[in-house]
Amino acid sequence: MQFYSVKEVAIKLGLSIKTIENMCGKGRFKGAYQTDNDDWLIPVENFITSREQFERANEILQHIDRKNQVVDKSELFINANLVAIYFETTLNEVKLWIKKGIISGKKCEENPDIYLVSKEEFEYLKAKREQDDTDKAIGELLGDDFTDWDVEIDD
């Protein structure tokens, strides 16, 4: 049997490591167990996706790759804090996504402590998420830990 670490599941679901650890403790993942080192191992079988879901994810990743190849100085950006709020994660996690190339973004030229994300890419990902029924599946998996992910961004 193959297992994911808590970190791998957190990345896969877009949740924090602490949330995944709490879910493991509550028995949300079938067959998950804690090692002698207090690390959780979660069976891969909990995360089997359909071909359709895989193709949709691939489409999103290809779109992101195309966006990363083109630099447009007139492109609008939003503060990475808004992305963190929408995905219910931390700003540090969004910065990590940018650094890993999971989403396109950059440091603000005026203030390098601020990270920016392409507004067009964010709107694309948001629209894809709203069209997808993955939230329903995640809601069934998370139960009471799941909250509505809709966040409005003012222009």
Closest CA to 151 of 131, 120, 122: 122
Cα radius of gyration (the chain): 17
Nearest-10 Cα torsion for 138, 86, 84, 45: 10
State the pLDDT at residue 136.
63
The whole model's pTM is what? 0.39
Q: What is the pLDDT along the chain (155 residues), one digit of tens a residue?
A: 889 999 988 888 888 899 999 999 999 999 999 999 999 999 988 887 767 777 777 787 777 766 666 555 556 888 888 888 888 889 898 888 888 888 888 888 888 888 998 888 888 888 877 776 655 666 666 666 555 544 455 55
Inter-helix orientation angle 17-25/6-13, to 10°: 110
